[in-house]
Structure 1
Amino acid sequence: MKIVGGSARGRIIEAPPGRNTRPTSAVLREALFGILSGTVPQARVLDLFCGSGAIALEAISRGAKQAVLIDADAKAIQTASKNCKALRMDEQCRIYRNDFEKALRILKRKGEQFDFVYVDPPYQGGLYEAALKGLFPSLVAEGGVVVLEHAATDEMPFLPPICKKGRTRVYGTRAITFYTGAEEHEDRGFPRQL
């Protein structure tokens, strides 16, 4: 795998070992960061179910200020840590091995907020709604965006009192769906690119 844009463009990163890993493709990452080009510079990023850390590292390469990477899998955390160090981004990254629900509670207690959150849980795990409920409203900064990666055949939840669902974009067998805080769009509507 390679970083596809920014200051680390072309640099190689590793994927966690094992058959059950499915790193986010370069095509999907390029499309995602094209859509979010105005959101990423100076952003605080949360990469939930981070795997290799590719999304967080791509964001930092493109100007994000800092990133928090979370995964429950020890091999994923080792790989993400190794990738952060190899790209000399370890000072901008905080990496935690933890169950996502516990990690989100800890981040809430610390008063953390994020401008860009990427959520890539196991596709068949049914974790999408729980992740959104754990993130909104307290962990997503005003104007922030949450992106869920999922199987293209999966229908993503509508949670109107908590957040507003934007577009779903499909890339082969995978898709990404955008969410923002519900209160932010009562008057001005959803941003066009999302």
Structure 2
Amino acid sequence: MRVVAGERKGMPLKAVTGTTTRPTTDKVKESIFNMIGPFFDGGIVLDLFAGSGGLGIETLSRGADQAIFVEKDGRAFQTLQDNLKKCRYEEVSEVYKTDASRAVKGLIKREILIDYLFLDPPYHKKEYYDLLLTLIENNKLSNEAIIVCEHATDVALPTNYGAYRLIRQETYGSTIISIYQKE
């Protein structure tokens, strides 16, 4: 794993040991950013179920101002912190070792708007996609927000989450990338 483009292009990232997370491959990551970017002029990214932090770090490298990472697995959390330190992004990152549901409740209380949301929960936990609706209903996403959901091919996500509609969907092996934007 590595940072694909931007100011930290080529920087190798540590992967989480074990089988508790599924890192997004460099090929899929590059495809995601070709669809939503490829570069950004500021903004805040929320990387729920961050794992090693590859998607959020990639967004920072490509021009986002700030990132919020949420990961509850201990090994993944340590790997995420190591990757942020290696990429020198500690100053522009908030890292929370907690459940995504609890993190979303905390975000609702803050004066913050998310511009890029990455949602990649464990494939067998489809109910975590409801967090997307919680963020939308509480006006936590900017009008230009881009939502990227990574899910298994046997998980069908709706064509709309509130005012955000599915604008693109690509399949990579057993993984689907679904991208939503406001209508």
For 2:27, the equivalent position in structure 1 comes to 27
Q: Distance in 2 between matches of 1:39 and 1:158?
A: 26
Q: Distance in 2 between matches of 1:28 and 1:34?
A: 10
Alpha carbon RMSD of aligned pairs, Å? 1.6
Instruction: Give the aligned residue type for 1:71.
Output: E
CA deviation profile, 1:31-69 (whole Å, cap 9, x unmatched): 111111167331210000000000011011111111000
The sequence identity of aligned pairs, in percent, is 31
Q: Distance in 1 between matches of 2:130 and 2:161?
A: 14
Q: Distance in 1 between matches of 2:58 and 2:65?
A: 12
Answer whether contact 2:5 2:58 (CA < 8 A) is retained: yes
The 1:160/1:106 distance shift into structure 2, 3 A limit, reads: closer
CA deviation profile, 1:134-165 (whole Å, cap 9, x unmatched): 22141211111111001133211244545322
Q: Distance in 1 between matches of 2:71 and 2:92?
A: 17
For 2:53, the equivalent position in structure 1 comes to 53
Q: Secondary structure at the match of 1:178?
A: strand
The unaligned stretches of length 5 or more in structure 1 are 186-194
The unaligned stretches of length 5 or more in structure 2 are none
1:136 matched to 2:136: yes
Q: How many residues were matched structurally?
A: 182
Q: TM-score, normalized by length of structure 2?
A: 0.92
For 2:36, the equivalent position in structure 1 comes to 36
Answer whether contact 1:45 1:67 (CA < 8 A) is retained: yes
